[in-house]
Structure 1
C-alpha cells in the first residue's frame, strides 16, 4: 500500500482540524481588531486621543497605538513560551482548556475598558492566550493529518487566521455606521471573547494527539484515535493506513525517547540536526514578518488615509484587503502540497519585496498630492503585495514550522517559531506609527532590504518536506528514520507490510482486545 495514494481525509479528521481552527480565528480576529478600531473616531474621542497630525498630543497617540500592538505581541511571546511547555506537560487538549478561558478574559477586558490601562491589560492577556493557540493549533493539526494532505489541512490554520482578519475588518466597517458611539468600537472588541468561548466548549469532544499519547506510553488510546481519524472503525483484519502509521510512529517514538533521555533544552542549539531546524524555523518566521505584512495591514487604515482616502473608505479598503488575503490563503492551501513549501515561500517573499518597491516609489511621489491615478496605483500595489503574501507565504509558514521538528521536541520547536514571530511583530509594530509619521514611505525600505536578503537565504537553507510523513522529515536534517512508509518502490512496500504483519499487528490486536 503506498502512502501517496492515501489522499482521502476522514470526516472526523477534517472536523477536528476545523474545530481547532477556532483557535486560528481567535488569533486572526484579535490581532486584526486593532486596525478597525483605529478607524473609529469614537474610539479616539472616548480615550481623549488625537488623530490630527498637527495636534501636540499626536505623539502620545502614536505611542498608545504602538503600545496596543506591543502589549498584544508581548503577551503572544510569553504565551508561545508557555505553550511550548504546556503542550508536552499537559497534552494538547488540556492546554486548550487552560488557554481559552484566558482568551475570553482578554476580550472581555478590552470590550469593557474604561481607561487605557484596562485596555492595554486586556491586550496583554488576550495576546498571551493567542500565543499559546498559535503554538498549539498548527502543531496539533500536523500531528493528526495524513502526509499526502498535511499541507492542505495545516494550511487551514492560515486560511482561518486571515478569515479572522477579514471578519474583524468587515464588522468594524459595519459598526462605523452605528449611531451609538460606544458600540462602534466596543462591540468589535467584545466579539474577541466569543471564539475562545466556543473553542472551550468544543474541546472535550476533540481527540488527543496520537503522537503525544504514544510519547506518554498510552498505545491503546493512540490506536483508538488513529482509527477515528482514518475512519477505519475496528477493522483490524484489513491492511489500513492507520495500522501502518501506528507502526511507524511507535518505532520512531521509541527511538526518539531513547535519544531524549540525555537531552536538555540546550540540545536544541547544540545538536546539529536540531540546530538546523531552529535556524530554518527562524528564517521562515522572521522572513515572513520581515515582508512588513503586519505593519502594512495593521496600519492599513492609516496608510489609506495617507493616500488621501477619508471617511468610511479606508475601512472599506481594509476589509477588501483582508478578503483578498483570505482568498489567497485558500489558494495557498491547494498549492502547498503540489509546488512545495520552499518554492511557495520564496515566490511569495520575492513578490512582496517587488510590490513594496513600487509602493514606496508611488508613496514618495504622490502622497500629499491630489493625483488620483498615482494614489490609486498605490492602493493597487498594496493589494498586489497581499496577494503574493496570501497565496504563497502565510499558510506555508505554519505548515513548515509545524512539521520539521520530531515529536518529542515539536512543541518546543513551535514555541521557538512563534516566539520569533511575536518578537518580530513587537520590533516592527511598536515603532511603526512614529516611523510613518516621521519618515513616511522610507519605512518601507527596511522591508524591501530584508526581503531581498531573506528570499535567497530560504532557497539555500530550507529542505523540502512535502509528501513525507512527520517521522521521515528528520532524514532531511540528518537524523535517522526508523521506518519509511512513503515514496517506496513496490518491493519496499511489500517488505514494510511484511514487517508490520509480523511485529506490530499482534500488538494492535492485543491493544484492541485488552
Structure 2
C-alpha cells in the first residue's frame, strides 16, 4: 500500500486553507451581528417593534449569501472538470477576496446584501473544490485524515473568526468592531492564492485529460516512499487508477449522467443526504445564532461572544482528533455515533429551554445544563460528523462525476443552510425550544437512513469503492491475491518497457 509522504501532507495543508477561508468568511458575519456597532451603523433595532424588521434583514443577508454559495458550488464542479482542480481553486480565491473586500466596505444594508452574494459565490466554490482535491490526492490508508483536513480547517475558520470578533468587541471604534472581522476574511484566500503556486494538479484529473506522464510524475512525488526504491506500490496504485479512469471515461459525465445512471444516482443521493443530515441536526443554526441563543439563556455583555469562541474551539479540537481516528474507526461508526449523540443533546437543549427558560419555572441550574448541552452537541458534531460527512461525500463518487457530484452535495448543504438558518432568528424568537424539537426528529430519521443505506468505505482506494454500488472494478488492489499482484506487476513492467521504446523512437 502506498505511503503518505510529507509532501502530500504539505500540499493538503495548503489546499485546506480554502476550507479555512469558507469557515472564516461564513462565521465573520455571525460575529459581526454580535457587535453593537453593526446595529448602530445600519440603524437596525434590536428590541421593540423594529426588531422584526432586523430579523428579516438578517435572514435576507443569510439567504442571499447561501444563494451565492449555491451558485459557486454548482459552477465550481464543472469548472474543475474544464480547467482543472488547481486553477479552479485560484479562480475561487480571487472571487472570495473581492467579495470579502466589498462586504467589509459596505455602506448600506442593500450593498451588504448584494456583495454577500459575491462573497458567497467564492466561498461556495472553495467548499466544493477542496474536498475534491484532497480526496483525489490522498492515499487509501490516510484518505480520511487528509480529506478530513477540510472539516478541521473549516471549523478552525469558525473559531479564529470567533476570537477576532471577541477582540473587536472591546474596540472603542464601534464601526471597526463589525467591519474588522469581515475585512480579515480577505487574508485566508490571499494565502491560498499564493500557496497554489506550489500545489500540483490532481493526478486523476490529468489522467482524464490524457496527460499520463504528468500524472505519474505528480503521483510518484505525492506518494513517495523512501523504503520502496522501485516504487512498486506507487506503480500499482497508478496502474489501478489509470485503468479505472479510462474505463469510466467511456461513460457520460456531468449532472445529466448522474440523473440517468442508477448507480450514480444512488451515490449522489448518499453524498447529498449526508450533507443535508449534518445541517438537519441544527448545528449550523446553533453556530450561526449562538450569540442570540446565549443571550436568551441569560448571558450578557461579552459573555455570549466568549461562549461562542469556546463552542467553536471545542468543535475544532473534535475535528482534529477525528483526523487521527477516522481511518481506524471507519466512516459508519463515526456518522452513527455523531448523529445519535447530537440528537440526544438537542433533546436535552429543547427540554431545558422549554422548561426552565421559556416556561414558568426559571432555574439557573437549567440554564447551565442548556449551555452544557450546546457544548456537548458541538463535541459530538466536531468529533464524529463534520469530517466524516465531507469525506464520505467526496470519496464515494467516481472520477468522471466527482466534481459534479460533490457540487450537488455542497449545494444540498447550502440549500439546507437556507432552509434552517434563514428563519433561524425569527424561529428562535417566536417558537423557541420547538425549533430544536424539529431538529431532534430530523436527526432520528438521519440515523435510520445511515444505518440501513450507508456502506463502509474505509481502507479501500477510490477506484475500488465502485464495487459497493454495483459498478465494475477493473483492477483489484487491496484484496488482490499474490497471483493477481504478480500478473499486475508484469503488466506494469510491459507498459513501462513499451513507453520507454516509444520515447526512444520519438
Mark yes or no: TM-score above 0.5.
yes
Equivalent residue in structure 1 for 2:299, among 298, 309, 317: 309
Secondary structure class of the residue paired with 2:148: helix
Paired residue for 1:83? 76
Paired residue for 2:107? 114
Q: 1:240 offset after TM fit, Å?
A: 2.8
Task: Sort the Cα spacing of 1:342 and 1:184 in 2 relative to 1 into closer, same or farther, 3 A.
Answer: same
Task: Sort the Cα spacing of 1:236 and 1:321 in 2 relative to 1 into closer, same or farther, 3 A.
Answer: closer
Task: Sort the Cα spacing of 1:351 and 1:60 in 2 relative to 1 into closer, same or farther, 3 A.
Answer: same
TM-score (structure 1 length as normaliser): 0.95
Q: 1:501 offset after TM fit, Å?
A: 2.4
Paired residue for 2:15? 20
Equivalent residue in structure 1 for 2:414, among 418, 422, 430: 422
Paired residue for 1:506? 497
Please tell me whether the aligned partners of residues 219 and 511 of structure 1 are also in contact (alpha carbons under 8 angstroms). no
Secondary structure class of the residue paired with 2:255: coil
Paired residue for 2:438? 446
Equivalent residue in structure 2 for 1:47, among 30, 42, 46: 42
Paired residue for 2:189? 196
Secondary structure class of the residue paired with 1:266: helix
Task: Sort the Cα spacing of 1:436 and 1:508 in 2 relative to 1 into closer, same or farther, 3 A.
Answer: farther
User: Which moved further from structure 2: 113-122 or 159-168?
Assistant: 113-122
Q: 1:511 offset after TM fit, Å?
A: 8.5
1:348 aligns with 2:341: no
Paired residue for 1:249? 241
Please tell me whether the aligned partners of residues 273 and 409 of structure 2 are also in contact (alpha carbons under 8 angstroms). no
Q: 1:475 offset after TM fit, Å?
A: 0.8
- Output the CA distance in 2 between the equivalents of 1:86 and 1:71: 22
Q: 1:38 offset after TM fit, Å?
A: 1.6
Paired residue for 2:136? 143
Task: Sort the Cα spacing of 1:101 and 1:273 in 2 relative to 1 into closer, same or farther, 3 A.
Answer: same
Task: Sort the Cα spacing of 1:133 and 1:37 in 2 relative to 1 into closer, same or farther, 3 A.
Answer: same
| Structure 1: tracts of 5 or more residues without a match | none
Paired residue for 2:205? 212
Q: 1:489 offset after TM fit, Å?
A: 3.8
- Output the CA distance in 1 between the equivalents of 2:457 and 2:331: 7
Q: How does 1:463-502 map to 2 (within 5 A)?
A: 463-502=455-494
- Output the CA distance in 2 between the equivalents of 1:408 and 1:392: 29
Paired residue for 1:367? 357
| Structure 2: tracts of 5 or more residues without a match | none
Equivalent residue in structure 2 for 1:331, among 314, 317, 321: 321
Please tell me whether the aligned partners of residues 308 and 370 of structure 1 are also in contact (alpha carbons under 8 angstroms). no
Q: 1:66 offset after TM fit, Å?
A: 1.1
- Output the CA distance in 1 between the equivalents of 2:185 and 2:261: 41
User: Which moved further from structure 2: 289-298 or 121-130?
Assistant: 121-130
1:293-347, Cα deviation, whole Å (9 max, x unpaired): 1001100000000000000000000000000000000111122111111221111
Q: How does 1:372-387 map to 2 (within 5 A)?
A: 372-387=364-379
- Output the CA distance in 1 between the equivalents of 2:318 and 2:119: 27
- Output the CA distance in 2 between the equivalents of 1:357 and 1:388: 14
Paired residue for 2:31? 36
Please tell me whether the aligned partners of residues 210 and 222 of structure 1 are also in contact (alpha carbons under 8 angstroms). yes
- Output the CA distance in 1 between the equivalents of 2:503 and 2:303: 61
Q: 1:223 offset after TM fit, Å?
A: 1.2
Please tell me whether the aligned partners of residues 346 and 456 of structure 1 are also in contact (alpha carbons under 8 angstroms). no
Aligned residues: 503
Q: 1:237 offset after TM fit, Å?
A: 7.3
Secondary structure class of the residue paired with 1:259: coil
Please tell me whether the aligned partners of residues 85 and 411 of structure 1 are also in contact (alpha carbons under 8 angstroms). yes
User: Which moved further from structure 2: 486-495 or 145-154?
Assistant: 486-495
Please tell me whether the aligned partners of residues 175 and 184 of structure 1 are also in contact (alpha carbons under 8 angstroms). yes
Please tell me whether the aligned partners of residues 102 and 125 of structure 1 are also in contact (alpha carbons under 8 angstroms). yes
Paired residue for 1:268? 258
- Output the CA distance in 2 between the equivalents of 1:380 and 1:488: 49
TM-score (structure 2 length as normaliser): 0.96
- Output the CA distance in 1 between the equivalents of 2:502 and 2:170: 61
Paired residue for 1:399? 391
